[in-house]
Amino acid sequence: MSVIEESPSLVSSIPQDYTKRLMVFGGRASMELTAKIAGRLDVDVGRADLRTFADGEVYCRYEESIRGADVFLVQSTVGNEAQGMTPNDALMELLVMIDAAKGASAHRIIAVMPWYGYSRQDKKSAPREPISARVVAQCLEAVGVDRVLTMDLHSGQVQGFFSKPVDHMTAMPMLTQYFLDQAFDHDLVIVSPDAGRVKVARNFAQKVGVHWAVMEKNRPAQQVAEIGYVVGDVEGKTAVLVDDMIDTAGTLCAAAKTVLEQGGAANVIACATHGVFSGPAYERLARENSGIDRIVVTDTIPLRPGAPENITVLSTAQILADSIRRIFADDSVSEIFQGENQLF
């Protein structure tokens, strides 16, 4: 009869500490939003040396150890006049921040991109065009990102360009709550500026508890829109034009003119997650030029100087902080929105 002796248990002499660390860093395009997010997480913004050399090249160096940490890099890939950055500068800066974090042995690298630049170039609309939204995804994955956190993408298919996890947030709860908290002289009607945003407008209207309408739009060229007519009853009501973004504001101003003159709306309010406001947007959106009483956007993109007085900015810091906290703790992110963060 053989007797098997148990080996004495081995205890490693290597110190083992499985305490996780959360670190938040901001790119120069989103430093203000980064500070708000860090404040809600009760952490300090990580120290990083971010510079642009005389020849235009961007540079990054972390000024503290990030070894073994979950590193969240907050950067909307958008221009920032105050920092002298273009959208391409912001994208390149994010890429080198990811690469530097990978080389510094971060445990996980999460790109927090409240505004995903190039998201509108999500398909081929003409022969020999690139799908630039996919190019951005490939670049992020190539340099070593582990996860992407973004908000209100222009189209849901952008998530399919990634093989890494993508957490898609939405500003709809905070935007709908804003309108529920306000007092209006006229009944509200939610208006989609084109057929592509009908589902968003319908969901928005259901949350606020009002009717919705849709506008017929033709786009003869890039960044050029022609509004035809409005389908639905807006007469004598406050028309709320809901979109994911406002860029040069040509579409928005044309839509506002249509609902006022043809639809007979009492007044117009605009609402969008991303206020890009490029080119002549500020001049067009001034109340005396556009007829729009109020423009409600979030801080996913920093406002450049000279914004008209009718622009109201709501902060997304709490939503993003809650999402970061749940990702760090490996909890469900969709529970923040009760599973309603896919709105396409």
Residues 308, 237 share a domain: yes
Residues 203, 163 share a domain: no
Residues 325, 250 share a domain: no
pLDDT value at position 344?
44
The question of whether 237 is a catalytic residue gets the answer no
Other CB atoms within 10 A of residue 220 CB: 7
Note whether residue 8 is domain-resident. no
Residues 189, 109 share a domain: no
Q: How far apart are CA 100 and CA 236, in angstroms?
A: 57
Note whether residue 1 is domain-resident. no
Q: How far apart are CA 285 and CA 305, in angstroms?
A: 14
Identify the active-site residue in 164, 199, 217, 257: 217
* Helices (H), ranges, the chain: 31-41, 87-103, 132-143, 172-181, 198-208, 250-261, 281-285, 287-290, 317-328
Residues 152, 39 share a domain: yes
pLDDT value at position 192?
92
Please tell me whether residue 187 adopts helix, strand or coil conformation: coil
Question: Could you read off the pLDDT tens digit of each residue along the chain, which spans 344 residues?
Answer: 555 555 555 555 666 556 789 999 999 999 999 999 999 999 999 999 999 999 999 999 999 999 999 999 999 999 998 898 999 999 999 999 999 999 999 999 999 999 999 999 999 989 999 999 999 999 999 999 999 999 999 888 899 999 999 999 999 999 999 999 999 999 999 999 887 788 889 999 999 999 999 988 665 556 555 667 888 899 999 999 999 999 999 989 989 999 999 889 999 999 999 999 999 999 999 999 999 999 999 999 999 999 999 999 999 999 999 999 999 999 988 888 765 665 54
Note whether residue 3 is domain-resident. no
Residues 162, 146 share a domain: yes
Note whether residue 9 is domain-resident. no
Residues 219, 144 share a domain: no
| Length of the chain (residues) | 344
Residues 103, 29 share a domain: yes
Residues 177, 215 share a domain: yes
Q: How far apart are CA 170 and CA 319, in angstroms?
A: 9
Note whether residue 295 is domain-resident. yes
C-beta of residue 135 within 8 angstroms of C-beta of residue 143: no
Domain that holds residue 271: 172-314
Residues 298, 324 share a domain: no
Give the total number of structural domains in the chain. 2
Note whether residue 133 is domain-resident. yes
Note whether residue 258 is domain-resident. yes
Residues 309, 195 share a domain: yes
Note whether residue 299 is domain-resident. yes
Residues 31, 164 share a domain: yes
Does the pTM surpass 0.85? The reply is yes
In degrees, to the nearest 5, what angle opens at C-alpha 8 toward C-alphas 4 and 11? Answer: 150
pLDDT value at position 3?
54
* CATH at 77: 3.40.50.2020
